[in-house]
Amino acid sequence: MKIEVLQDRFSVCKVHDYKGVDISMPYCFTGRTENEFSLVLPTVRVPFAALAREDGWRGFRLSGQLDFSLIGILARIASLLAEANISIFAVSTYDTDYVFLKEECFQEALQLLAENGYSIA
């Protein structure tokens, strides 16, 4: 499976609402519950009025469209990285999965995945 490295640096943040957030920009992931509005987006795009933020994330996506019938793709990546004591923050879209890791672990994670048969682009 091919992994495509995203060039941006990312942040995970909490906002009061999505007013003033350009959700049409590439790599803007939203999450909404009854208690919060969350975002994952390039650090340079974090809203000024963010209530909380965690910077220092890098990301990659699994190349191509992943059919819903496929089983264990993200679980295998998560397991490999967990065994190396590397935590992830995963976001799934209709077509594919995105995996975010803290910047200080990113190169180690890519190397580990390459050693386990993943192609890194």
DSSP 8-state secondary structure symbol assigned to residue 4: E
CA angle 15, 17, 21 (to 5 degrees): 80
Pairing of strands 119-120, 2-5: parallel
**Nearest-angstrom CA–CA distance, 72 and 54:** 28
* Count of domains forming the chain: 1
Query: What's the pLDDT at 63?
Result: 74
Q: How many CB atoms lie within 10 A of CB 88?
A: 18
Domain that holds residue 63: 2-120
pLDDT along the chain (121 residues), means of 10: 92 92 90 94 92 96 61 81 94 89 96 92 84
Q: What's the CATH number where 50 sits? A: 3.30.2130.10
Query: What's the pLDDT at 71?
Result: 52
* Cα dist from 17 to 23, 47, 61, whole Å: 12, 11, 27
Report the b/e string of 56-67 with b at 16+ CB within 10 A.
ebbbbbbeeebe
**Nearest-angstrom CA–CA distance, 97 and 15:** 23
**Nearest-angstrom CA–CA distance, 72 and 55:** 28
